[in-house]
Amino acid sequence: MARSDPYIVMPADAVDKIASSALSRGSLVLRRASADDMYIVRAVETAKDVRLQVDVSREYAALRSGDSHHAAQWIRVAPNDAHIHHLLLSRRPHATIAFKDFKEMVPGVSDPGNKLGVVVTHDPGLPAELTEAGASEFAGWAVRRSGVRPLHIEVEPEIIGLKQLAGKWPIEQLTTNSVMVVGCGSIGSAAAVALAGYGIGRVELVDPDRFLWHNMLRHALGAEGVGRFKVAAMKDHLAQHWPQQDVVAHRLDVVADAHHIRPIIDRVDLVLCAADGIAPRRVVSHLARRARKPAILACVLDNGSIGEVIRLRPTPRFGCLLCLRRYLADMGAMDAEADQELDYGTGRIHQPMTAVPPDLRYVGTFTAKVAVATLLESLHGDHTQRVPGEHAIIGLRPVSDLATPFDLSQAGDVRWLSIPGPRTACPTCSSG
Ligand SMILES: [Zn+2]
């Protein structure tokens, strides 16, 4: 097959219809999408003069498009004959076989006249060794009187989506886990998408805000979400791309609605906080510690020059967010963060808005990875994804004028650190 040949796309329902038909050949209706040079099988003759539409589910927009209908044929062939030829011819670009030789091999093929005939042959008894060699049960042919060429048929596989990862990624384990995502902005939406891709079974989204025009540049959502509540629009977005995942949307403010937040934390395995501002992060640190759940906090600092991911684990080895901040302040670290600590309660928030969109998605995906690594280690005893520490500082557009440990000088650099133990009499850690 040459790169310039058209493609035939065959939905699973067309496969079923042909394979289960009692006929040995019948007609097909193809739809041609000329811009993409492909044919889509849209109807199959399953019994004499009975032609059934092929089901193509709604999300396959391109497969439901296409213009002029094109009459074609399907033919059941004897094993070991046509499909070996198809395989051999496919490996020789521009090779053709004479129409009369093809007709001998595939009796029942109609004479295409002066036009192009498209034929799909079905060999239900194809031996396994031929399948392994690359032959398939369905083969396509461009039939002209001047010669016949093989066409590629792309058959919809039985297993698609995350199930394809089974045996290669701990998908069965992660399906049983749940994560609460606090803050569905740039970082949070990217983290939620990544959690779905890693196979986390349930995500509970928490955010009180609407998705507006100025959010669009840096968000997983597009124009379709403008005006909606972020959690509701994200739930729909995730359902469309990751239908196996359970998503719960909560239009809640983690600070003002803390009494509603506690029961959610109680039923999830981990909290991922990507909310802007010191107050929500402190509340998450406190509530997660009390509920004995790990929390991963993500943000960008210093106008998007660095990303920061903190993992808080409810063990006597590690303190809470306040314990870490106090320790860093004592070291003389990070004026920007110290400013925000001082401004706590005045409504001043982190300012990620100068950050570049992919940098925020990068931090969101990174945070989801740390969350997944934490779940695999703590709940499944799987250490294959172990991360190097509890506190990651990520170079995005570093300006290298920050005090240690934030003094990265290169983009793409990740500095991993531990975090200190609890302070004596820390109100979060001591009774936790
Ligand atoms: Zn503490």
pLDDT digits (tens, 9 = 90+) for 178-218: 999 999 999 999 999 999 999 999 999 999 999 999 999 99
What's 65's domain CATH number?
3.40.140
Could you tell me how many residues make up the chain? 432
How close is the Cα of 216 to the center of ligand 1, in Å? 36
201: nearest Cα among 173, 179, 177 = 177
How close is the Cα of 382 to the center of ligand 1, in Å? 28
In one-letter notation, the amino acid at residue 381 is G
How close is the Cα of 91 to the center of ligand 1, in Å? 66
Rounded percentage of the chain residues whose pLDDT exceeds 70:
94
* Confidence band of 34 (pLDDT split at 50, 70, 90): confident
What's 216's domain CATH number?
3.40.50.720
How close is the Cα of 319 to the center of ligand 1, in Å? 5
Q: Classify residue 403 by its DSSP letter.
A: P
How close is the Cα of 426 to the center of ligand 1, in Å? 5
Q: Classify residue 168 by its DSSP letter.
A: T
Residues 62 and 192 reside in one and the same domain: no
Backbone angles phi, psi at 71, to 5 degrees: -75, 140
Give 203-259 pLDDT, tens digit per residue: 999 999 999 999 999 999 999 999 999 999 999 999 999 999 999 999 999 999 999
* Confidence band of 169 (pLDDT split at 50, 70, 90): very high
Residues 323 and 179 reside in one and the same domain: yes
The residue among 64 and 411 whose pLDDT is bigger is: 411
- Domain limit, last residue, from 121, 155, 189: 155
Number of domains the chain contains: 2
Question: What value does the CA radius of gyration of the chain take, rounded to a whole number of Å?
Answer: 29
How close is the Cα of 432 to the center of ligand 1, in Å? 9
Residues 134 and 44 reside in one and the same domain: yes
Residues 186 and 121 reside in one and the same domain: no
Q: Which residues pair with 141 in a beta bridge?
A: 119, 150
154: nearest Cα among 51, 47, 45, 62 = 62
How close is the Cα of 176 to the center of ligand 1, in Å? 30
How close is the Cα of 423 to the center of ligand 1, in Å? 6
* Confidence band of 340 (pLDDT split at 50, 70, 90): very low
Coil, strand or helix at 425: coil
Residues 199 and 138 reside in one and the same domain: no
Residues 147 and 175 reside in one and the same domain: no
How close is the Cα of 99 to the center of ligand 1, in Å? 80
How close is the Cα of 419 to the center of ligand 1, in Å? 11
Q: What average pLDDT does range 137-141 have in this prediction?
A: 96
Residues 105 and 173 reside in one and the same domain: no
Out of 128-132, 267-271, 333-337, least confident range: 333-337
How close is the Cα of 119 to the center of ligand 1, in Å? 71
How close is the Cα of 183 to the center of ligand 1, in Å? 22
How close is the Cα of 362 to the center of ligand 1, in Å? 28
How close is the Cα of 318 to the center of ligand 1, in Å? 8
Coil, strand or helix at 389: coil
How close is the Cα of 312 to the center of ligand 1, in Å? 10
How far CA 163 is from CA of 91, 197, 198, 425, in Å, comes to: 31, 11, 11, 48
Q: What average pLDDT does range 376-389 have in this prediction?
A: 96
Q: What average pLDDT does range 347-351 have in this prediction?
A: 46
How close is the Cα of 386 to the center of ligand 1, in Å? 24
How close is the Cα of 350 to the center of ligand 1, in Å? 21
Cβ count near 345 (within 10 Å): 8
Q: What pLDDT shows up at residue 3? A: 66
Residues 112 and 253 reside in one and the same domain: no
Q: Which domain holds residue 73?
A: 7-155
How close is the Cα of 316 to the center of ligand 1, in Å? 10
Alpha-carbon distance of 135 to 413, in angstroms, equals 47
How many Cα atoms occupy the beta-carbon half-sphere of 326 within 13 Å?
A: 12
How close is the Cα of 270 to the center of ligand 1, in Å? 18
Residues 28 and 56 reside in one and the same domain: yes
Alpha-carbon distance of 288 to 294, in angstroms, equals 6
